[in-house]
Structure 1
């Protein structure tokens, strides 16, 4: 049996699900794309090639192996995008929670049934109704807190880049009555990827000990940004601009408080991390980033110390 344990984003990682880019399928049609960045690259003819994405994910697998992390991979579904393991489920404490995701992606959870089979069935949860929406990219355990990205705009039902609703926030809250749950209203845009915080981890992520990466303009409500400013203290926040958010600078992945995996082109961020005495394991991930997801998006932690 897998003894799940996730209390936060940065404790020492022991087991993780890493997505796969193998048999990723053809370039999607514009009308089938789920986010503005993918659409931009489909139109430009620069949508990532499977062979490049496979190499990028193998570079991550290699780093995880170096740190003796147990890595689970999904079973391959032919011609199907299975890169973003974070979207389909999440672990908080010892609970495994299946996401209510876009209906087109239901197959993805079936591809990790071999992992779920190792978990105590009493610890596996699924939202009881279809109108409860949430994805793992919007949800972060932070010790006594759970941070959740949502979207409170009236156009939520028509906004395909809004993935977590208030019913999702309420459902997660109901599973963890002892936690303080803080929801953040995020900016969304189907037109401009530089204005679109697809998930909370696209504009914010804890790192190291009591530090975080943040993109102020990702938050619709200035009070949500102010909350994080007070929570961490200004000197402990690394602010990224619109372009850095577009390239997914906040979507790195912590193996421990003092070890992260980051994209090799994030020069300003990586220099700051090293100044905090954090080891930065640099990998190429710029092709996968074209689908508006990066390192946190493609990993789903199961066990941290």
Structure 2
């Protein structure tokens, strides 16, 4: 059973700045209890009784608030954006929409063309909005294989791409904000059985071992900054491939540590946002020593130690 988040507790610090206030509102939230009486000449005229919770949407959802509104709003936004962007056929339904792109390849060059990847129950389309152009599209009935490929950018950062093979053509190499999710959706939606490695392979499309999450959930990162480190809340994920952490305010992960770079992990070694004993340190040979915090630091540290080859933590 997943442990419930602890209740919100009020805090007060007269030294806070505007940046601190925004960080608290996004990651922790604030509860307002206001009773106000407006009087003129000592005669009460207007009464105000206000009870409000203000927080970032991620925090609201973590505490079970506004979930249905969030789901309905996201679904409506996806449908509206898709209708504006795509010329949908009669009865065609949009299943997913995410930032991505298409690699245009010819005999002399290969160029990435950014756009938006649309997956419907009939087609896979990469569309550029301005100027409007369909960069690439294929009927789902023609898709025969899908696989994830990893390449390194000019800066050396790994990027996962989606290779799509077609029955009647060479297919394409696509980028996507969530390539694993796109691959899984294609596996469930395409009418023909899909192969993972090649168009002729009979192997079904299944998540690879590096996609399995060992631990996943809310994670704090003590991010180094010029004016001193700052605790930031976000989403962490540990797989056999390594550790990834991303803030909801960032466009891409701020922390990516391959498993081979993790040396050791130690839980409960400091004071985190959740209180004493919630912090953990991670020793790496690529990012130095990292400080993280979680509601269950022993669980996170155990998963990280399994990647580093360190002995398991002693039983509590």
Same fold (TM over 0.5): no
- Return the structure number with greater strand share: 2
Greater relative CO (CA pairs within 8 A, separation 6+): 1
